[in-house]
Amino acid sequence: QLKQHGASLTNIEITEQNIKAFSAVAKKYDIDYALKKDPTTDPPHYYVFFKAKDKDQLQPAFKEFTAMTLNREKRPTIRERLAQAQEQAKTQHRQREKVKTKDREVAR
């Protein structure tokens, strides 16, 4: 469909894990793209095709996309955070005072 518009096309390669994140960024910047799967390779590669006139919109979109993926890689996983919380709970000293006072009032 993009070829039918008469514009020259450019493409990039993308991994399967990043398709959904890239789609969200492309939608935000209103970029017209087509996704093509290359089944001849194992694991399959995905190619994203753009119209060449969208290059002005691509640069900020790619900056945001790469920043988002780098932040995701730097962030610790849920399992790591859970292990840290368990270690912290083990080392934390519970400081509760046991108060044993009884009021012996006559309620009438």
| Euclidean distance between the first and the last CA atom of the chain, given in angstroms as a whole number | 88
What's the confidence (pLDDT) of residue 82? 93
Q: Note the pLDDT tens digit of each residue in 2-53.
A: 555 556 677 778 877 778 888 888 888 887 788 888 888 888 888 888 775 6
What's the confidence (pLDDT) of residue 79? 92
Q: Note the pLDDT tens digit of each residue in 64-108.
A: 888 888 888 788 888 999 998 888 887 776 655 566 777 777 766
pTM of the model as a whole: 0.50
Nearest partner of 9 among 56, 54, 41, judged by Cα: 54
Helix H or strand E encompassing 12: strand 9-14
Residues 6+ away with beta carbon under 8 Å from 61: 25, 26, 28, 29, 31
> Can you read off the two tokens belonging to residue 23?
């789609």
